[in-house]
Chains A and B, each alone.
Chain A
Amino acid sequence: GDSVTQMEGPVTLSEEAFLTINCTYTATGYPSLFWYVQYPGEGLQLLLKATKADDKGSNKGFEATYRKETTSFHLEKGSVQVSDSAVYFCALSDFYGGATNKLIFGTGTLLAVQP
C-alpha cells in the first residue's frame, strides 16, 4: 500500500539556519503530495502542496519539489525563524477514482528553532 517516510526528529536549528526535512513516498498511482504543519496545541494546517511530477510547492518561504524519479518531496527553507518551530508532516493523497481525499501521513518531524 501507499506510504510516506519522513526523517526522524527532533531537528534543532539556530535562527537563520537552512532547513531540510526529508520525505520519500511509495504509491501505486499518481499521488499528490503535501506538507502540513502543526503548531503547539493546534490542529494541522496545509503548508504547501504539489500535484504532479516536477511541480514546486511554496509558501511562507518554504519550498518542496515533487521528484518522481527519486519518489521524494523534501521540505526546505533558506532561513528559519523561531516562529517556525512546529511539527511538520509529509502526506500523500492518491486519487482512487472515487470521491475521496484520503491522506496518508508520515510520522511527523519536530522542528525546534533556537534564537
Chain B
Amino acid sequence: NAGVTQTPKFQVLKTGQSMTLQCAQDMNHEYMSWYRQDPGMGLRLIHYSVGAGITDQGEVPNGYNVSRSTTEDFPLRLLSAAPSQTSVYFCASSSTVPNTEAFFGQGTRLTVV
C-alpha cells in the first residue's frame, strides 16, 4: 500500500531557483492538499484541489503554484525560491465525503539558501 508518496524527501535550493515537489496518491481520492509545517505555527494550508482540473488557494498561497491534471498527482511548484520558503512540506489526500481521514505523505524538507 503506497498511500501518499512525496518526492524528494530533502532538497536544498538557492534563492531564485525553481523546483517542483511531487505528490502522488493511489487511493482514488478526489481531495488533495499541500501544507507547510513551521516551528510554532503548526500546519498551514497552501493550496488544495477537489478534483482533476480544480484548484484553489489556502491560507499561504503566495510563491507557490499547483495544477491537477490527473486524480493521482498534485505537484507543487516554487517558481522563484526564497529563504522564507524554507520549511517542511506535506501533501495530503482524502475522500470528499465530509470528515473522513486525511492521509499524509512523509514530507519534503526544503532549505532555501
List the B side residues contacting A46 at CB < 8 Å: 101-102
List the A side residues contacting B103 at CB < 8 Å: 45
A contact residues, total (Cβ < 8 Å): 25
Contact B96 A99 (CB under 8 A): yes
List the B side residues contacting A102 at CB < 8 Å: 33, 45, 48, 58
Which of these, A43, A49, A98, A105, contacts B106 with CB under 8 Å? A43
Most chain A CB within a 10 A radius of its CB, from B4, B43, B105: B43
Expressed in whole angstroms, the minimum distance between the Cβ of B46 and any Cβ of chain A is 12
Whether, in the assembled complex, B2 has its beta carbon less than 8 Å from a beta carbon of chain A, the answer is no
Expressed in whole angstroms, the minimum distance between the Cβ of A94 and any Cβ of chain B is 9
Which residues of A57-103 are within 8 A (CB) of B?
A: 89, 93, 95, 98-103
Whether, in the assembled complex, A22 has its beta carbon less than 8 Å from a beta carbon of chain B, the answer is no
* 26 A-B contact pairs sorted by A residue (CB < 8 Å): A4-B42, A36-B102, A42-B107, A43-B4, A43-B107, A44-B90, A44-B92, A44-B102, A45-B104, A46-B102, A49-B101, A89-B42, A93-B98, A99-B30, A99-B50, A99-B96, A101-B94, A101-B96, A102-B45, A102-B58, A103-B33, A105-B43, A107-B41, A107-B42, A108-B42, A108-B43
Interface residues of A (CB under 8 A from B): 4, 32, 36, 41-46, 49, 51, 89, 93, 95, 98-108
Query: Knowing that A44-B92, A102-B58, A107-B42 are A-B contacts, what are 9 other residue pairs whose CB atoms are under 8 Å apart, sorted by A's residue number?
Result: A44-B90, A45-B103, A45-B104, A93-B98, A93-B99, A99-B50, A99-B96, A103-B92, A108-B42
